[in-house]
């Protein structure tokens, strides 16, 4: 869909050599911190911006220089951008009216979309009279009525509260299954991206850091940035030892690696939920260290501990109901994790933000 | 209880403005209406008693024509001011803020010179030996004998020139608040640039356009200096007639009757428009 895109604003390079192919019918997310270029990429796709270099294609057709009205894709704007002087029904029928569909087809399709997003009773209201969730459904219906090949969604849930956000996510997934349109999401919220996407592109500084399924990105992050942006991670840096199946971590000792390190400097990521805590030294276990509980945060479904290992702190997470939840700040405990639960990051690139 | 307290405070806060309006607008307006029913005297004042003599004189054949000309010219002035103002406001609103202020300064700049001076400047420009005339003749756009002054089109030209900023500023104020992602949304949904402009931008600044209509149409109706300076006998407006009755004929009741006529012509449509707008706004919430 995108190939070798460059885009700069003045001296600021917003995108550098980005190539990306979204598959038909999938839910694809562009995920990254603000300023990473994800919105720029979306606006390039919609046609509100034009690339300095590179091509954008849609279903094999080059649309790089087409204006937005000529592109078979529609956008859900972050603030929904509903036309304030039109009713819900007029908003939804704007596209068909502009395209000059016959009147009875406009009426039929508008009613169908109103039913799809369950807004029949609000059809004659003005956008100002609607709640956030309703506004978003109007925006959806307005975009879907033109049956675009791709629906672009720019942080569509940013303005909604958590409960509504979860409901809209489910609803959106249902809609996507019903209409079978490709969805391209822009979001900075990893949970949103993880829960809905077939594939995710993690972006930073105008580049794609990693592209893959949510599972692949979470379990085998490409670098430190992706690892720390998606979920929490303990990052251990050390120097390779012997055959590369272990590394020396300054002040801590030998850490067994899941795979063979290929370079002298190795970075190991361990998710907090992989780190075990125990009062007595475990009988077996590859990586066992003794430390002192520094902090304890109760989060309902689980409890997060920060363990002081002397030179560094390690995060560990225990599920609710664990027998160890009585551990208090100041207690001595052992931390350990199985070698295969860690992830050796392929490169040391990417400073942690 | 609380509501009531708020009401009292609102009234108190509004009081100075209300008194001002009462003393300087309502009372003088009523006085004008009353004077129209007084007999005139030879020295430019009014005599005791009541009469409708002034109103009778309004039915002279020339008056209807002047009333129509005044209305027509005011309408045309308003229209010609709106046509460039709406796209211009769009352009201004899309400029980066610093440059926007520079443009706005250019719009306001003419106000630093008195209107009288600016109208007289037009007189110089359009004079048979004036710069404008010479350029136009040189470009073969007008005949060397053509008269560019003292006719109705010239009055229209100078009126549009004088009132243009009054049309632009309220529309710009509305345009500045427009959410331009609405334009993007319209483009996204298949509207071309022109369709997005007329179907989204223009309705979005409708309030500003109505403001501009009021700001131009009403002063244009009462316009007096411009037709007096660049117009001729064939382009006299009600404003000129009122001035003549006051200063030359010293017939105050007739002048007052004319002024009342003008007011009656403007007031109902304005009130109607105002009521309609308020109705609309209530509909929104």
pLDDT top residue among B280 and A191: A191
Considering CB atoms only, which of B182, B195, B284 is closest to A83? B182
Residue A353 has pLDDT above 50, yes or no: no
Degrees, nearest 5: CA angle B104-B106-B111: 100
Q: Is beta strand A182-187 parallel, antiparallel or unpaired with respect to A27-31? A: parallel
Q: Residues A236-280: pLDDT tens digits?
A: 888 877 777 788 887 777 788 887 777 777 788 888 888 888 887
Interacting residues of B21 by C-beta distance below 8 A, sequence separation 6+: none
Residue A95 has pLDDT above 90, yes or no: yes
As a whole number, the mean pLDDT across chain A is 84
pLDDT grade, residue B1 (50/70/90)?
very low
CATH code for the domain of B228: 1.10.3720.10
Interface list for B 157-196 with A (CB within 8 A): 179, 181-182, 184-193, 195
pLDDT grade, residue A289 (50/70/90)?
confident
Considering CB atoms only, which of B181, B190, B206 is closest to A81? B181
B107 occurs within a structural domain: yes
pLDDT grade, residue B282 (50/70/90)?
very low
pLDDT score recorded for residue B183: 93
C-alpha distances (whole Å) from B214 to each of A119, B167, B207, B279 are 39, 9, 11, 18
Locate the chain B residue with the closest alpha carbon to A92.
Answer: B189
pLDDT score recorded for residue B61: 76
Ordered alpha helix ranges (H), chain A: 38-46, 88-92, 94-99, 103-116, 132-144, 162-179, 190-196, 214-219, 224-229
pLDDT score recorded for residue A156: 83
In chain B, how many domains are there? 1
- If you average pLDDT over residues B243-247, what whole number do you get? 85
Q: Residues B158-191: pLDDT tens digits?
A: 999 999 999 999 999 999 999 999 999 999 999 9
pLDDT grade, residue A11 (50/70/90)?
low
Is A98 in Cβ contact with B191 (below 8 Å)?
yes
pLDDT grade, residue B81 (50/70/90)?
very high
Locate the chain A residue with the closest alpha carbon to B202.
Answer: A85
Is B181 in Cβ contact with A77 (below 8 Å)?
yes
Give residue B168's domain range.
Answer: 61-283
Locate the chain B residue with the closest alpha carbon to A76.
Answer: B185
pLDDT top residue among A197 and B146: A197
Is B188 in Cβ contact with A69 (below 8 Å)?
yes
pLDDT score recorded for residue B54: 81
pLDDT top residue among B61 and A295: A295
Is B190 in Cβ contact with A99 (below 8 Å)?
yes
Residue B65 has pLDDT above 90, yes or no: no
Helix, coil or strand: residue A314: strand
Helix, coil or strand: residue A318: strand
pLDDT score recorded for residue A7: 65
pLDDT top residue among B177 and B130: B177
The domains found in chain A, sorted by start residue, are 2-224 (3.40.50.300), 225-344 (2.40.50.100)
From A257's Cα to the closest Cα of chain B, the distance in A is 51
Locate the chain A residue with the closest alpha carbon to B203.
Answer: A85
- If you average pLDDT over residues A40-44, what whole number do you get? 89
pLDDT score recorded for residue B5: 61
Residue B226 has pLDDT above 70, yes or no: yes
Locate the chain A residue with the closest alpha carbon to B204.
Answer: A85
Chain A CB contacts of B178 below 8 Å:
none
B92 occurs within a structural domain: yes
Q: Residues A314-337: pLDDT tens digits?
A: 888 888 777 776 777 888 888 888
First to last CA, chain A: 29
Interface list for A 58-87 with B (CB within 8 A): 67-69, 74-75, 77, 79, 81-85
pLDDT grade, residue B285 (50/70/90)?
very low
B124 occurs within a structural domain: yes
Instruction: Write down the residue that tokens 């931390």 correspond to.
Output: A335
B206 touches chain A (CB under 8 A): yes
From B96's Cα to the closest Cα of chain A, the distance in A is 14
As a whole number, the mean pLDDT across chain B is 86
Considering CB atoms only, which of B181, B193, B204 is closest to A85? B204
A146 touches chain B (CB under 8 A): yes
Residue A232 has pLDDT above 80, yes or no: yes
pLDDT score recorded for residue A348: 52
B25 occurs within a structural domain: no
C-alpha distances (whole Å) from B229 to each of A14, B124, B146, B155 are 59, 11, 18, 9
Q: Residues A127-136: pLDDT tens digits?
A: 999 988 899 8
pLDDT score recorded for residue B284: 35
Residue B3 has pLDDT above 60, yes or no: no
- If you average pLDDT over residues A188-203, what whole number do you get? 88
B20 occurs within a structural domain: no
Dist CA B190 CA B178 (whole Å)? 20
Helix (H) or strand (E) holding A7: strand A2-9
pLDDT grade, residue A170 (50/70/90)?
confident
Chain A CB contacts of B204 below 8 Å:
84-85
Length of chain B: 285
pLDDT score recorded for residue A345: 80
Is B185 in Cβ contact with A77 (below 8 Å)?
yes
B27 occurs within a structural domain: no
pLDDT score recorded for residue B132: 81
Dist CA A30 CA A3 (whole Å)? 15
Q: Transcribe B145-178 into DSSP letters.
A: T---SSSHHHHHHHHHHHHHHHHHHHHHHHHHT-
B66 occurs within a structural domain: yes
Q: What percent of chain A has pLDDT over 90?
A: 21
B12 occurs within a structural domain: no
């Amino acid at each position: 869909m995108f190939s070798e895109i460059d885009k700069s604003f003045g001296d600021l390079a917003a995108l550098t050599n980005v190539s990306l192919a979204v598959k038909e019918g999938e839910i694809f997310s562009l995920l990254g911190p603000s300023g990473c270029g994800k919105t720029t990429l979306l606006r390039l796709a919609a046609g509100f911006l034009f690339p300095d270099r590179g091509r954008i294609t849609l279903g094999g057709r080059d649309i790089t220089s087409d204006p937005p009205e000529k592109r078979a894709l529609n956008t859900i704007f972050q603030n929904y951008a509903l036309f304030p002087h039109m009713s819900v029904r007029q908003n939804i029928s704007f596209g068909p009216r502009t395209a000059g569909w016959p009147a009875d087809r406009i009426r039929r399709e508008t009613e169908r979309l109103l039913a799809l997003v369950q807004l029949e009773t609000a059809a004659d209201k003005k956008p100002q009279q609607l709640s956030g969730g309703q506004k978003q459904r109007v925006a959806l219906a307005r975009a879907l009525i033109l049956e675009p090949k791709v629906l672009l969604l720019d942080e569509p849930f940013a303005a909604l509260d958590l409960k509504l956000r979860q409901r809209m996510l489910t609803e959106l997934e249902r809609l996507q299954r019903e209409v079978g349109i490709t969805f391209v999401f822009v979001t900075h919220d990893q949970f949103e991206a993880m829960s809905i996407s077939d594939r995710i592109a993690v972006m930073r500084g105008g580049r794609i850091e990693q592209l893959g399924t949510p599972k692949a990105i979470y379990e085998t992050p490409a670098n430190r940035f992706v690892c720390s942006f998606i979920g929490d991670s303990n990052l251990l840096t050390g120097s390779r030892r012997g055959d590369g199946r272990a590394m020396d971590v300054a002040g801590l000792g030998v850490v067994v690696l899941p795979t063979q390190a290929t370079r002298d400097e190795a970075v190991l990521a361990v998710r907090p939920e992989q780190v075990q805590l125990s009062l007595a030294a475990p009988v077996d276990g590859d990586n066992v260290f003794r430390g002192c509980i520094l902090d304890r945060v109760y989060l309902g479904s689980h409890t997060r501990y920060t363990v002081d290992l002397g030179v560094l702190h390690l995060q560990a997470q225990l599920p609710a109901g664990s027998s160890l939840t009585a551990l208090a700040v100041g207690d001595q405990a052992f931390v350990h994790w199985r070698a295969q639960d860690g992830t050796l990051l392929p490169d040391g690139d990417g400073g942690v933000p | 209880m609380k509501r009531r307290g708020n009401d009292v405070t609102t009234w108190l806060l509004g009081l100075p403005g209300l008194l001002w309006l009462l003393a300087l607008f309502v009372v003088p307006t009523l006085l004008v209406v009353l004077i129209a029913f007084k007999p005139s005297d030879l020295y430019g004042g009014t005599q005791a008693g009541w009469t409708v003599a002034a109103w009778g004189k309004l039915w002279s054949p020339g008056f209807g024509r002047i009333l129509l000309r005044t209305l027509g010219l005011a309408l045309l002035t308003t229209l010609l001011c709106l046509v460039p103002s709406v796209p211009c406001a769009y352009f201004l609103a899309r400029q980066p803020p610093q440059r926007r202020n520079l443009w706005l300064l250019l719009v306001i700049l003419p106000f630093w010179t008195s209107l009288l001076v600016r109208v007289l400047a037009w007189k110089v420009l359009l004079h048979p030996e004036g710069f404008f005339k010479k350029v136009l003749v040189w470009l073969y756009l007008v005949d060397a004998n053509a008269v560019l002054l003292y006719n109705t089109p010239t009055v229209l030209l100078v009126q549009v020139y004088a009132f243009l900023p009054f049309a632009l500023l309220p529309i710009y104020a509305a345009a500045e608040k427009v959410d331009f992602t609405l334009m993007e949304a319209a483009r996204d949904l298949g509207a071309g640039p022109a369709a997005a402009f007329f179907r989204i931008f223009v309705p979005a600044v409708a309030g500003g356009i109505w403001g501009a209509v009021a700001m131009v149409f009403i002063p244009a109706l009462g316009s007096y200096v411009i037709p007096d300076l660049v117009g001729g006998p064939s382009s006299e407006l009600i404003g000129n007639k009122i001035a003549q009755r006051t200063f030359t004929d010293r017939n105050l009741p007739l002048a007052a009757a004319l002024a009342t006529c003008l007011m009656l012509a403007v007031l109902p449509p304005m009130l109607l428009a105002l009521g309609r707008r308020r109705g609309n706004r209530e509909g929104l919430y």
